[in-house]
A = this chain, B = another copy of it.
Amino acid sequence: MADYKAPLKDMQFALRHNARLPQLAELPQFEDASDDMVSAILEEAAKLAGGVLSPLNVVGDQTGVKLVGDDVPTPAGFSEAYQQFAEGGWGSLQFDPEYGGQGLPYSLSIPVMEMWQSANMAWGLCPLLSQGAIEAISVNGSDALKATYLPQLISGEWTGTMNLTEPGAGSDLAAIRSKAERDGDHYRISGQKIFITWGEHDMTDNIVHLVLARLPDAPAGVKGISLFVVPKFMINADGSLGERNDARCVSLEHKLGIHASPTAVMSFGDNEGAIGYLVGEENKGLACMFTMMNNARLAVGLQGVAISERAYQHALDYAGEREQMGVILKHADVRRMLLTMKALTEAGRALAYDACASLDFAHATDSAEENTRAALLTPIVKGWCTELAQEVTSLGVQVHGGMGFIEETGAAQHYRDARILPIYEGTNGIQALDLVGRKTLFDKGVAAQALFAEMEETLIALQGQGDFAKEAERFAAALALAKEANAMLLEEGAKDRQWPGAVAFNYLMLMGTLAGGWQLARSAVVAAQTDEGDATFLQAKVLTARFYMAQILPRCQGYAAMVLNGAEDILAMSDEQLASSWYS
C-alpha cells in the first residue's frame, strides 16, 4: 500500500478560508505565522508523517505491544520515529516560549497533529496525550510544577498521560475511588486506573502521569476530586532522574484496534504510595480537567478526519488499479463511495480547523463570543467527525471488495483503529448530551442562534453566485430544518428532562451534517471566485461541495424528523418488553 501523502493543498485552504489564519496572523502574538512559515512547517511535517510514521503503521498493528516485566517495548522503529519527532520540535509548536514552546497558533498545530494521526494513529496518540498533560499543567500548575515538568514535556523528552478512568468510573467520574493522602509537601496516591493510553513505553526516559484521586476528607461526587502529577521516575533537585515512583503498569488491554498504542492498567501505590504533586487546588481536579477537555475533544474529532483521509487515499489508490469490467474507479457506485469519503473528510477537516481557530481567537483576544462558539462546536466536532470516520473507513473496506476483509490489505486496520473514536474522550452519547444540555438549553440557544446567523451569511453568499442556485436551495432547506429542531429542543427541553437526552444524538448528527455542509459551502464560494492556487484543486473543491449538498446534506431531513418526532417512542418500552422475544 502507498504511504500517506499529506493533503497540503486542502489543509492550507482550510486554514486560510475556514479557520481564518490570515486574520489570526494579524494579531501581534502570532505575527510569525506568515504564509511562508506555515507552508514550510506543513511541508516538513508532511515528510516526517509520510516518510517515517506512515511506513510504521502496519508493522505497529501486526506487532502490537506486550508487557515484559514492568516494561512495554514498542514496535520496531517507533522509538526512532519518536526521537525524530522530538528533535524536530514537533511537540512544541503551540506552547509557551517561556518553557521552550514556539508560540505559534494552536490552529496551526492542528494540521500538523492531523498528519501524525493520519500516518499512524496508534503512535500519534502518544504526543496527543502529552499535549493534554502540558495543557493541564500550563493552565493549572504552580510555577514550581511548571518549571519542573513543562520544559521536558514540551521538548518531547518526556511524555504525558491522563489517568481518569477506573473499573467502576467511566463516564461517571463521581465514582472515582483512587486515594490521595497528604504527606508533607506532596501526596501519596493509591488506586487502580484503566484505559491509560501510552501509560507505559520505552520511547522516553520518563513518563508524567496526571491522576485524578480523592482526598480522605473530600466531599462526595465530582466536587471531591483532585488532580495530581505522578512521575514514573522522581526528579532530583538538579533535574536528573531519581528513584522509580510507586506507579506501575500491571497489564495491557487486547483491543480491536490501535494495537501499537499501549492501553495500560496502572497501579498506583502498591507499596509505600506513589508520590504525587497537586495540580491547582484540592478538590478542584475536575475543573482542571475541563481546561484541557475542549482541546482533547477537538483533537479526537481531528483523529476522525485524519483516519478518514488515510482510508480515502488507500481506497482511491486501489480503485485506480483494480480491474473488474474496467478499472473500478470508473464505476458509478465506486465513485459515489469515493466522493462520499472525500466530501465527509473535507467537511470534517474544515469544521475542526474552524473550531480550533475559535479557541485561538478566544485566547488571543479574550473574546467571549469566540469562546462560546468553540464550546458549541466542540461536541459537534468530536461527535460528528468520529461518526463520519466510521462511515468513511467502512467505505474504504467496501471499495476494496473481498480484499478489504483481508488484513494484509490494510483497509481493515483503519476500520478497526477508527472504532475507538466515538468511545473515548467522552462517548458520543456524552457529547450529544453536552450539546443539547450545557451548550444549548443552558444558554437558551443563544450560541446556536449565533451559529445559524453565520450560516445565513454563507447562504446569502451562495445565493449571490447564480451558479450555486441549487446548492443554496438545498442548504437553505437543511438550515431551516435545524432551526426548527433547535426551537423544539428549547421548548420541550424546558418542560421535560428526559426529552433532550432521547433526541440528543440525532440532534448532534443534524447539527454536524449541516455544519459540514456549511463549511464546504464557505469553501466553494471562495474556490469559485479565486484564481489563487491550483485550478484542478479549486474546481474539485467546488464539485465536492456540490456533491455534499446533493448527496449528503439530505440526511438532515431524516435527522430533523427524528428530533421533531420527539422522545415519546424512544422512552415508551419497558425493560421487560426489551427482552420479550425469547423465553428467559
Closest to A11 in B: B581
A516 to chain B, nearest CB (A): 14
For residue A578, CB closer than 8 A to chain B, the reply is yes
Q: Are B569 and A501 in contact (CB under 8 A)?
A: no
Contact of A5 among B256, B578, B582 (CB under 8 A): B582
For A337, A555, A579, which residue has the most chain B Cβ atoms within 10 angstroms?
A: A579
Q: Are A334 and B429 in contact (CB under 8 A)?
A: yes
A284 to chain B, nearest CB (A): 21
Report the stretch among A132-140, A167-175, A272-280, A356-364 that lies at the interface. Answer: A167-175
Distance A334 CA – B420 CA, assembled complex (angstroms): 18
Contact of A398 among B253, B254, B336, B428 (CB under 8 A): B428
Q: Are A254 and B408 in contact (CB under 8 A)?
A: yes
Distance A412 CA – B562 CA, assembled complex (angstroms): 28
For residue A144, CB closer than 8 A to chain B, the reply is no
For residue A397, CB closer than 8 A to chain B, the reply is yes
For residue A530, CB closer than 8 A to chain B, the reply is no
Q: Which of A320-342 contact B (CB under 8 A)?
A: 320, 323-325, 329, 331-339, 342
Distance A67 CA – B557 CA, assembled complex (angstroms): 51
Distance A84 CA – B254 CA, assembled complex (angstroms): 33
Given contacts A416-B256, A556-B558, A578 and B423 within 8 Å (CB-CB)? no
Q: Which of A545-573 contact B (CB under 8 A)?
A: 546-547, 549-551, 554-559, 561-562, 565-573
Given contacts A332-B567, A550-B570, 20 further A-B contacts (CB under 8 A): A5-B584, A6-B582, A170-B324, A172-B324, A253-B406, A255-B407, A313-B582, A316-B578, A316-B579, A333-B432, A333-B505, A335-B573, A346-B581, A402-B423, A536-B580, A547-B569, A547-B572, A550-B568, A551-B565, A554-B565
Distance A210 CA – B412 CA, assembled complex (angstroms): 29
Q: Which of A393-411 contact B (CB under 8 A)?
A: 394, 397-398, 401-402, 404-408
Residues of B within 8 A of A407 (CB): 254-256
Q: Are A405 and B257 in contact (CB under 8 A)?
A: yes
Q: Are B333 and A573 in contact (CB under 8 A)?
A: no
Contact of A504 among B333, B390, B412 (CB under 8 A): B333
Residues of B within 8 A of A549 (CB): 569
Contact of A569 among B194, B429, B551 (CB under 8 A): B551
For residue A101, CB closer than 8 A to chain B, the reply is no
Q: Are A502 and B424 in contact (CB under 8 A)?
A: no
Distance A194 CA – B408 CA, assembled complex (angstroms): 15
Q: Are A401 and B171 in contact (CB under 8 A)?
A: yes
A402 to chain B, nearest CB (A): 5
Residues of B within 8 A of A551 (CB): 506, 562, 565, 569-570
4 closest A-B pairs by CB: A554-B561, A332-B501, A7-B581, A540-B577
Contact of A429 among B331, B428, B575 (CB under 8 A): B331
For residue A40, CB closer than 8 A to chain B, the reply is no
Distance A407 CA – B580 CA, assembled complex (angstroms): 28
Q: Chain A 527-549, CB within 8 Å of chain B: the 1/0 string?
A: 00000001011011001101101
Q: Are A558 and B554 in contact (CB under 8 A)?
A: yes
A221 to chain B, nearest CB (A): 11
Given contacts A573-B540, A578-B338, A325 and B398 within 8 Å (CB-CB)? no
Q: Chain A 221-261, CB within 8 Å of chain B: the 1/0 string?
A: 00000000000000000000000000000000111110000
Q: Are A336 and B505 in contact (CB under 8 A)?
A: yes
Q: Are A580 and B537 in contact (CB under 8 A)?
A: yes
Q: Are B415 and A419 in contact (CB under 8 A)?
A: yes
Closest to A7 in B: B581
Given contacts A432-B333, A536-B580, A557-B554, A405 and B420 within 8 Å (CB-CB)? yes
Q: Are A580 and B505 in contact (CB under 8 A)?
A: no
Residues of B within 8 A of A255 (CB): 405-407
Q: Are B498 and A332 in contact (CB under 8 A)?
A: yes
Q: Which of A432-491 contact B (CB under 8 A)?
A: 432-433, 474
A377 to chain B, nearest CB (A): 20
For residue A79, CB closer than 8 A to chain B, the reply is no
